[in-house]
Structure 1
């Protein structure tokens, strides 16, 4: 009895080659998008109170163009002690609905120490896992009370790891310089920041131009 002949279907070499090219051309963003969706589902279901309770990341009003302002308090971020996995989940949970439109970030480096400094490796991991909308819709990243360390870090990071946001980073020597882009009553920050600011800059050192 003859064995039945197996039907062999061959794809044209051009199709096989095209599929291989398509696979290898997939950007890291496409891979990260799948990972991001998984992280987003976790962020919406897991208990993140141990990170949210720190109070280092939150939304504080809007700027003069109506864009949400996300505040990050560097001194309150215990990088060496916090669960970094949950920290990333909390960041995603907070920012995902915000980054669907334009937004800005105000990072306060006031009185931070080496215990608060994230590593480049972790920053790169966070940057790579966040989808394109985070970078595209970020319109400004303000660093208040910068130091030599923050200036070097932001230059290095935005030059070699995140060039898409390099032109969006602005170093501000005092809190009041923020008032040119957002009203004072829209900014909620800890008392130690305003006290430090008055110590180094004095009172009413900057008067923003009247809105037109």
Structure 2
């Protein structure tokens, strides 16, 4: 019997502890959306909600969010998949209407979500303020 744990077992234990700790964490509340908890949506309800938000996103002029260059299409990767670029430093919470931002992201991702794509996230100079 070895006194040293297998690194894979140790990582699995750490992952399980993290998941258990986050079960009580309400990310939606943290982001200011209130309590979005409740029963999970059925596939039909999820599709209906997605369709309503996509329709709303397409009807709005979201150019001021596009100009912030928080999320934009960056070409294709080496395998020909579309690349979406996310720049954390451009995400200025105090200057941003979160609902409009979510609608913009939905609108930008809609054309590419049916096939594999790549997301590149730049975190340098990002701030929580």
What's the TM-score once normalised by structure 2's chain length? 0.65
Match of 2:62 among 22, 44, 48: 48
1:23-52 deviation line (CA, Å, top 9, x unaligned): xxx952522221110010011111111211
User: 5+ residue gaps in structure 2?
Assistant: 1-38
Alpha-carbon distance in 2 for matches of 1:66, 1:60? 12
Alpha-carbon distance in 2 for matches of 1:36, 1:43? 10
CA positional deviation for 1:81: 2.4
Alpha-carbon distance in 1 for matches of 2:128, 2:94? 9
Give the alignment of 1:1-212 within 5 angstroms: 27-28=40-41, 30=43, 31-115=45-129
Give the aligned length.
Answer: 90
1:146-183 deviation line (CA, Å, top 9, x unaligned): xxxxxxxxxxxxxxxxxxxxxxxxxxxxxxxxxxxxxx
Q: Which has the higher contact order (CA 8 A, sep 6+)?
A: 2
Q: Aligned with 2:93: secondary structure? A: coil
Alpha-carbon distance in 2 for matches of 1:70, 1:52? 13
What's the TM-score once normalised by structure 1's chain length? 0.40
Q: Aligned with 2:95: secondary structure? A: coil
Contact (CA 8 Å) 2:93, 2:128: kept in 1 or not?
no
Q: Higher Cα Rg: structure 1 or 2?
A: 1
Alpha-carbon distance in 2 for matches of 1:57, 1:64? 20
Alpha-carbon distance in 2 for matches of 1:79, 1:104? 24
User: 5+ residue gaps in structure 1?
Assistant: 1-25, 116-212
Matched with 1:202 is none
RMSD: 1.5
